Amino acid sequence: TVGILAFTLPLEKISILQEKERVLLPTDAVPTNYKILLAPHLDTFKFDGQETIDLQVRTATSKILLHSTDIEVDAASVSVVSDNGASLKASSVTYPSKDTVLFQFDSEIPVGIAHLSLSFVGNLNELMCGFYRSKYTVDGVQKWMATTQFEATDARRAFPCYDEPARKATFEVSLRIDEALSALGNMPVQNEVKDAAFPGTKTISFAPSPIMSTYLVAFVVGEFDFVETTTKHGVLMRVYTPPGKSEQGKFSLDVGSRTLDYFTDYFGIAYPLPKMDMIAIADFSAGAMENWGLVTYRETALLIDAEKSGISSKQRVAYVVAHELA
């Protein structure tokens, strides 16, 4: 992550940072995979969510505690593989703190593999953290996009999870969005379908991610232009911009592709993902964020008119891009 001097956080965000207490979750169950479906609504600034967390239960337990902030859980159940998929519905869902949700079951979940399934509703907030909304303008018309910033502990604002860097897992993310919009994730798009039950929408599913921490998960929904290239080592790289600004992404694209190739050659280690996207976000609290496969940037840290900008401006953009890809 790169910080930029002379920016102001909203008062709500400052309050969150001041009040936040570190809550480490019990280790009686650990996540191995998340299957997540989110449906953001850019008219109401809400989102619906469904997820299944694959768990390795280490100690028999009748309760599961997860991180969760500003999310209302509608339903929760656990299916236990060792009991032939027997399902246990949560007898209660409570919120012990502003950052946690507790699921209580009438009987113990045995040691072994279990699947915790949840449905929930959250907010596309304006705090520039978690799953939030960002405003941009196209031809004088104000529009909204939905984007993420999870570092350090704000994945819990998008989906209940084990929001600790050490609790790594794989992620299978799907987004149900307006059919006129586009969606980006850490991984390439694996599938895109339309469902008659949700007219005017499409569901985009991304390929499973490598094992990683929750704070590196990212997804963006909106209208984008892009420029692209393929590095000499065969990695597809794109720079996504607000509509009409793709020319301003060409300098960063050139720097980014050469940076990936340089580090691959220098360390003798191939870039581990099939693609690298970089995207400019209008409302962004830091300078940039090194989400795997989808690096997010403040617009001024990524977009530049290479013909009209001075060398110092180019150096600054090049430094930020190289730092995030390192």
Query: How high is the pLDDT of residue 7?
Result: 44
> Looking at this protein, which amino acid is placed at residue 54?
D
pLDDT of residue 192: 96
pLDDT at residue number 284? 86
pLDDT above 70: residue 6 = no
Annotated active-site residue 247? The verdict is no
What is residue 171's predicted lDDT score, i.e. its pLDDT?
98
pLDDT at 101 over 50: yes
Name the pTM for this structure.
Answer: 0.90
Dihedral angle computed from the Cα positions of residues 113, 119, 124 and 127, in that order, rounded to the nearest 10 degrees:
-50
Share of residues in the chain with pLDDT > 70 (%): 92
Asked if the model's pLDDT at residue 228 lies above 80, the reply is yes
Structure confidence by residue, pLDDT tens digits, 103-146: 999 999 999 999 999 999 999 999 999 999 999 888 888 999 99
Pick from 89, 94, 85: nearest CA to 76: 89
Report pLDDT for 19: 47
Q: Residue 263: what residue type?
A: F
- Residue 112 near residue 57 (C-beta atoms within 8 A): yes
pLDDT (0 to 100) of residue 85: 67
Residue type present at position 155: A
State the pLDDT at residue 82: 62
Q: Which of 151, 172, 299, 324 is catalytic?
A: 324
Of 6-15, 84-93, 176-185, 304-313, the range with the lowest mean pLDDT is 6-15
pLDDT digits (tens, 9 = 90+) for 253-299: 999 999 999 999 999 999 999 999 999 999 888 889 999 999 999 99
End-to-end CA distance of the chain: 11
Neighbours of 220 (CB within 10 A): 22
Higher pLDDT, 4 or 317: 317
